[in-house]
Amino acid sequence: MNRFCLLILIASSLFPFEFETDIEGETSEEMIELLESLLENPVDVNTATKKDLLSIPFITEEIADGIIRARETRGGFADKDSFRKLIPLIIYERIESFVVVIPPKVVSKKPSIYPRVRVRTRVENRYPRDDRAAGSALGLYNRILIDYGQFSGCILQEKDEGERDFVDFLAFGVKAKNVGHLEDVIVGYYGLDFGERLVFASPVLTFKGSPYQMRRKGIHLYTITGENTYKRGIALKTKKFGLFDISLFYSNASLDARSSDSVYYTYSADHTTSTWEDIKDRVKEIIYGGHIDISGEYGTIGATYYHASDYDSREKRSYSPASVNFSIPGGRVTFFGEIAYSRDFAAVCGVKSRGDKFMWDAVLRYLPRSFFSPHSSPFSDRRISSYGLLNDKGIYTCLLFKPFPKTELTVYGDHMEWEDDKLPGRGYEYRIILDRRITKGFDLGVRYRYKCKDDDYARFARVEMDVSTIKWIGLRLRTEWAKENDTLSGELVFGDVYIHPLNTLSINYRHIIFDSDLTRFKFTEYERELPGVMGNRFITGHGRRNYLLVSYKPFKFLRFSVKYEETFKKSSKLSGQVDLNLTKIK
């Protein structure tokens, strides 16, 4: 499980939203799917359910409830301006691209008799090839989403580079809405997300570096290729009766496990060597449980419980996590949290406040090493270990506000403690982010970050400029300096050119020069990837890096993307990757 340092830029410039993390690899597929889906199919606030509204970033339960109450009172919103007045301006500016207002008097089109089908195919080829890998160097990922009336389904196929089988991972699920007294029923592969994610959560969806944001999504179809994070069986949610709604679930899944350890929970298992092949699907895990929500005028209280047993050839292990979560609004302030028990107590509690020109959050987390919750992903500075153990205690606070017009200032701090091999560790992190729109099409950003863990510390300073005065072309320039323990240093500079000559064609090229001696702390360099994928690179050593991303949409229902990347280092040979993506939307 990974943790995030999130920066979302939803601006009018040519540069779209971004994720910047302090871990290497791809970010959450689920978050990317959500944002892409919202951009392509904005939520109509005149017909959206509370669940639809909560899928929009930064929309809290109290804001969603206020939207629904105002809509019922007025009979709907006539335009975006009437909707905008309901929510803080600082939030509206971030969600404007994700919402649409269709006046209530507009008669909707007759539903199509044909199903809506979305197909995505991605092919990857990296070089140089890993000599330890036994299979083909090609990576292949396919996904089919089907929506037809009250039914929807998903089929997934995955093969990582170096794996033997072209169907190394295959998943499918079917979801039905409004079946009798049931709001949702899912059969097949599904995911769970409740409370503050101490018991159940989707993989890697925790934010840091922006106002705290968690969404309770309940049960949902499994649409990503993480091979040890799914549930397989049946899940259902009842329609709300009175103050109550209930979710029940049963899962019987096969997970990867080492020969000498218990279950090895991992976000994505690369079965590229004989070691991985020996542990594939070694353990069977059976889960059954439920979640109940009681919601009313004064907030929401929920409870989650499940019993799990996993089996291999040597032993059987059982555990039964349970938790209580709450969300209590009070004007512009909301108190929230979750307290859980599984071999030990753990808690995530906090307060958040939203105003017209500010967002403020404070989150306290108590996640002892003895707490065991392998399907969780709570807000944390440290990753969850392979065995479901958390190890983090701390407090996080973040303030984002507009001190002046066209200016945003974000200040956050995080203090954390942990225990490694019974030895205590301590660290803290501070960051200041200043973004200023100088004029239309010209944005300037300055960032300073200080992070300390045990006796090691580092300082990072960055200056960034976005220029898009011409409608079809944009330029981003960034320079960053770092100092580690006052003895090691690093520098990074890049130029990013984004060209959009046609509505159907976009070209993005970046050239990076880096010179870094950093060891424990590294530069992070977000890269735009193919649709459905966002990457984050650790930059170390001395060299240069290039990437070219071209996207072409010849028809409304078809999008073609290709990316080429390469890295040159003084200490190593050329390495790179070629990715190809084909998306069909109907």
pLDDT tens-digit map of 222-278: 887 767 678 999 999 998 888 899 999 999 988 776 554 444 454 445 565 555 556
Instruction: Give the pLDDT confidence score for residue 491 in this predicted structure.
Output: 93
Asked, for residue 164, whether it belongs to a domain, the answer is yes
Instruction: Residue 503: give the domain boundaries.
Output: 25-83+85-585
Asked, for residue 245, whether it belongs to a domain, the answer is yes
Spatial CA neighbour of 355 closest among 586, 114, 137, 63:
63
Asked, for residue 187, whether it belongs to a domain, the answer is yes
Distance CA 462, CA 218 (A): 39
Asked, for residue 230, whether it belongs to a domain, the answer is yes
Distance CA 288, CA 295 (A): 24
More confident residue, 86 or 526: 86
- The percent of residues in the chain predicted with pLDDT above 90, rounded, is 25
The identity of residue 492, as a single letter, is L
Domain containing residue 118: CATH number: 2.40.170
Asked, for residue 406, whether it belongs to a domain, the answer is yes
SS3 (DSSP) at 580 = strand
Instruction: Give the pLDDT confidence score for residue 2 in this predicted structure.
Output: 33
More confident residue, 65 or 390: 65
Instruction: Give the pLDDT confidence score for residue 331 in this predicted structure.
Output: 76
Q: What is the pTM of this model?
A: 0.84
Quick check: 13 pLDDT over 60? Answer: no
Asked, for residue 2, whether it belongs to a domain, the answer is no
For residue 575, which phi and psi values (nearest 5 degrees)?
-130, 155
Instruction: Give the pLDDT confidence score for residue 1 in this predicted structure.
Output: 31
User: Which residue do the tokens 């966002």 mark?
Assistant: 534
Instruction: Give the pLDDT confidence score for residue 38 in this predicted structure.
Output: 77
Mean pLDDT (whole number) for 479-493: 91
Instruction: Give the pLDDT confidence score for residue 248 in this predicted structure.
Output: 97
Instruction: Give the pLDDT confidence score for residue 317 in this predicted structure.
Output: 77
Distance CA 86, CA 65 (A): 11
pLDDT tens-digit map of 305-352: 999 987 766 667 788 999 999 999 887 888 999 999 999 999 999 998
More confident residue, 531 or 146: 146
Asked, for residue 16, whether it belongs to a domain, the answer is no
Instruction: Give the pLDDT confidence score for residue 586 in this predicted structure.
Output: 53
Spatial CA neighbour of 357 closest among 402, 305, 307, 295:
402
- The H or E element spanning position 251 is strand 244-255
pLDDT band for 386, please (50, 70, 90 cuts).
very low
Asked, for residue 355, whether it belongs to a domain, the answer is yes
> How many structural domains is the chain composed of?
1
